[in-house]
Structure 1
Amino acid sequence: MTKQVKVAVVQAGSVVMDKEKCVEKAIQLVENAGGNGAQIAVFPEAFIPAYPRGMSFGAVVGSRSDQGRQDFLTYWKNSITVPGPETAQIGEAAKKAGVYVVIGVIERDQESSQGTLYCTALFFGPNGELLGKHRKLKPTGSERLIWGEGDGSTLPVFDTPYGKIGALICWENYMPLARAAMYAKGVQIYVAPTADARDTWFATVRHIAAEGRCFVLSCNQYSTKDMYPEEIVSREEFKDIPHELTRGGSCIVSPLGEFIAEPVFGKETIIYADLNLDHIAEAQFDFDPVGHYARPDVFQLKVNEKRLVNLMVE
């Protein structure tokens, strides 16, 4: 493992409900990050084709509307298959830039019905290879209307020259056992794509860094109401919500829980930082959650890493 790595946290808004233009924007941002010397570039949750903040999809308890179904169809059509043509394009961009890329997408199921969507983080190597993916285990609140639940088969941590990289998405980071599973796999660069820019989120990512003795790269979108296309059927719902839908707040945290790059608000930007990987071992001197500070004689964690789709047909 090398001692230094330059990381790029991409705070940008989606080209909402347009997967082709989202991919084009992602490719340009990967190129920018690589051109500025980054070796790892991370993107927000659901960057392709959107985190659909403010959209109801016409759903209330006990009923769904025809207009909401049309909006879901638009969202479904602009989701991507994994692997697929869009992942090939992103992989090629990662290869040209020579960077590891972690990017949030909405993934269309290919394994069973093809109707279910997943909120997924994809991992690409600097050789352009799609290394793997993590599907969000538990969509939060109304997200459950549009996304299915991932399972334990997509909880990867990848070995790289810059340490072990893994990700949990948004409020999965409030799941203590999910975090414990990541720590048990030795995560050192912990990626937290999110749609949360509340002040409490920053306490969360600082706690995770201190608890896991890892670097945390927290990445959120900056998005405004005018990024949403007029053809969304439920566009009328947007008239009473603020112009700034997501204020950003991306940041980078050290293994002692201190900001290396403090949250940035109110704009699209790329945040860069040079990480000294020796700081992980220094932080583990007095606390290592799965090493000398663990009590496996008292506490044990069992993780089911089987694919649920296989269990259903066995």
Structure 2
Amino acid sequence: MAPTTIRLGTASPGTQATTAETLAQLEHIARQAASKNIDILLLPEAYIGGYPRGTHFGCVIGSRTNEGREEYLRYFQSAVDLGDTVGDGAGAGQAWVNRELPSDAVPGSDGGNDAPNKRGDGTREELERISRDTGVFIVTGLIEKAGGSMYCSAVYVCPRLGIIGKRRKVMPTATERLVWAQGSPATLRAVSTTIRGVRINMAAAICWENYMPLLRQALYAQNINLYLAPTADGRDAWLSLLRTVAIEGRCFVLSSNMCVRSRPTPNGHPTNHPEEDEEKANGTTRDASPFTQPHAGTLHHRRRQSILDDDGNEIALACPPPPSKPRGRRQSIFDEDGNEIVLCKPTTTTTKPTTTTTTTTEPGPATAKSVFTSRGGSTIISPFGDVLAGPQWEDDSGTLTHADVDFADCIRGRLDLDTAGSYSRNDSFRLEVRGLDLAPLPY
């Protein structure tokens, strides 16, 4: 029997300050993957361009700020141009993949003479070079700009053929819709490659697209055996979803999420969102790429002490600071879902026979516990729901996790469950996706 084992790999790197630095980090990871004989490498959602965690771009219902528009401009400038079109959210499809679109050179300029078919900012070509030089099939998330819009996308980069396909997220989650346009369901098309004689049919669902049952079914229907889930979700519940997907689709699941630490504030408490009013007060500006790490600072006004319960309700606490001390910035941390939890400065009184000692506990930078705005959790799951590698929690060192997998397990699992085939009752239930052919790919 022909060998059916492939080595899958993933990691949890964070976006760097510039696109060039992120691509350099990506190349370093890909070379590490090559040294470990990893065949397919998955990197996180929005890895190139950055995930705008914790920011709101100055938007509330009925109002936008000038500062928020400037922040949006910086984010748009940090997105990459792959030379594709808008195309009703689908781009130009195979015409873009095959480089059949006309050059984007400006007539009369010096840029179009040496590369008449050149489009975009060169990011596509750099990704293809890295994959070609390392021999690693790379799938990475990125923020792509086309026309006046940005898309949360993922590209499939083959070391022999270059980019063979691209996904655009069809449903940005919650406030992601402020800055990301909706991609077309036509981009849910699976792609195929052959590695050491093994045919691999793969498709990606980005972050909370994985919670959309019909979207998952659209991928299963194409007879995929590798399900890719780049994400920004670092909660424990994410692992449960991935195991469900693996069992449901009888496919290997590969997931990658960035691991990002909070930056401590001057008083040692971590935060995970920018303070717009503080920047105005201090006259400070943000980095050229503000979507790599969270920003922190000190507020200059007193705010009430409170906590948030499990349902998101704010509960005010009666714990004012001693009258003899000046009122300072409230103490707070952020949980994994981005909710702020305000901490009261505790005053502990210990009574002894002869003396009374009052101690005020206020952790400083040296004692503050590391808090992650994104915990990572990159992992590899088998078609039977077993965790083969990871989850890689709270590891921002760029470490690779990998597993040798036997793709014949996908067929073995179809004995008792074939969600898109014999188990689906296609005589009674039918799914159609506009612009997408759901005919199953061959093995």
Alignment TM-score, normalising by the size of structure 2 = 0.65
Deviations along 1:293-312, whole A, 9 cap, x unmatched? 12111000011017xxxxxx
SS at match of 2:126: helix
1:146 to 1:241, Cα distance in 2 relative to 1, 3 A: farther
Aligned partner (choices 262, 275, 280) of residue 410 of structure 2: 280
Are the aligned partners of 2:390 and 2:401 in contact in 1 as well (CA < 8 Å)? no
What is residue 158 of structure 2 aligned with on the other side? 125
What is residue 172 of structure 1 aligned with on the other side? 209
What is residue 149 of structure 1 aligned with on the other side? 182
Question: What CA distance in whole angstroms lies between the structure 2 residues aligned with 1:235 and 1:262?
Answer: 29
What is residue 435 of structure 2 aligned with on the other side? 305
Are the aligned partners of 2:42 and 2:138 in contact in 1 as well (CA < 8 Å)? yes
Are the aligned partners of 1:81 and 1:108 in contact in 2 as well (CA < 8 Å)? yes
User: Is residue 374 of structure 2 the alignment partner of residue 249 of structure 1?
Assistant: no
Question: What CA distance in whole angstroms lies between the structure 1 residues aligned with 2:411 and 2:179?
Answer: 41
User: Is residue 294 of structure 2 the alignment partner of residue 261 of structure 1?
Assistant: no
Aligned partner (choices 218, 223, 232) of residue 260 of structure 2: 223
Displacement of 1:279 in angstroms is 0.9
1:87 to 1:100, Cα distance in 2 relative to 1, 3 A: same
Question: What CA distance in whole angstroms lies between the structure 1 residues aligned with 2:77 and 2:377?
Answer: 29
The correspondence of residues 81-92 of structure 1 with structure 2, limited to 5 A, is: 81-83=81-83, 84=120, 85-92=122-129
Are the aligned partners of 1:34 and 1:98 in contact in 2 as well (CA < 8 Å)? yes
What is residue 13 of structure 1 aligned with on the other side? 14
Are the aligned partners of 2:221 and 2:421 in contact in 1 as well (CA < 8 Å)? no
Deviations along 1:111-170, whole A, 9 cap, x unmatched? xxx210000011100125111100000000110001000012211211112410110000
Are the aligned partners of 1:92 and 1:128 in contact in 2 as well (CA < 8 Å)? no
Are the aligned partners of 1:165 and 1:187 in contact in 2 as well (CA < 8 Å)? yes
SS at match of 2:70: helix
In structure 2, list runs of 5 or more residues that go unmatched.
Answer: 84-119, 264-271, 275-284, 300-331, 335-370, 437-443
Q: Which amino acid aligns with 2:45?
A: E
What is residue 55 of structure 2 aligned with on the other side? 55
Q: Which amino acid aligns with 2:11?
A: V
Question: What CA distance in whole angstroms lies between the structure 2 residues aligned with 1:27 and 1:211?
Answer: 34
What is residue 101 of structure 1 aligned with on the other side? 138
Question: What CA distance in whole angstroms lies between the structure 2 residues aligned with 1:144 and 1:237?
Answer: 27
What RMSD in Å do the two structures reach over aligned CA positions? 2.2
Question: What CA distance in whole angstroms lies between the structure 2 residues aligned with 1:53 and 1:238?
Answer: 19
What is residue 66 of structure 1 aligned with on the other side? 66
Q: Which amino acid aligns with 2:382?
A: S
What is residue 29 of structure 1 aligned with on the other side? 29
1:2 to 1:100, Cα distance in 2 relative to 1, 3 A: farther
Alignment TM-score, normalising by the size of structure 1 = 0.90
What is residue 169 of structure 2 aligned with on the other side? 136
Displacement of 1:238 in angstroms is 9.6
Identity of aligned residues (%): 35
Question: What CA distance in whole angstroms lies between the structure 2 residues aligned with 1:31 and 1:64?
Answer: 44
Question: What CA distance in whole angstroms lies between the structure 1 residues aligned with 2:74 and 2:26?
Answer: 20
Question: What CA distance in whole angstroms lies between the structure 1 residues aligned with 2:433 and 2:80?
Answer: 28
In structure 1, list runs of 5 or more residues that go unmatched.
Answer: 307-314
1:103 to 1:4, Cα distance in 2 relative to 1, 3 A: same
Question: What CA distance in whole angstroms lies between the structure 2 residues aligned with 1:285 and 1:34?
Answer: 34
Question: What CA distance in whole angstroms lies between the structure 1 residues aligned with 2:409 and 2:424?
Answer: 20
SS at match of 1:219: strand
Question: What CA distance in whole angstroms lies between the structure 1 residues aligned with 2:390 and 2:142?
Answer: 25
What is residue 310 of structure 1 aligned with on the other side? none
Displacement of 1:225 in angstroms is 3.2
Displacement of 1:200 in angstroms is 1.4
What is residue 191 of structure 1 aligned with on the other side? 228
More helix by share: 1
Displacement of 1:230 in angstroms is 3.7
Q: In terms of Rg, which structure is larger?
A: 2
Q: Which amino acid aligns with 2:424?
A: A
User: Is residue 245 of structure 2 the alignment partner of residue 208 of structure 1?
Assistant: yes
Q: Which amino acid aligns with 1:276?
A: D
Aligned length: 301
Deviations along 1:156-215, whole A, 9 cap, x unmatched? 211112410110000000111100000011111100000001121111100000000000
Question: What CA distance in whole angstroms lies between the structure 1 residues aligned with 2:415 and 2:130?
Answer: 39
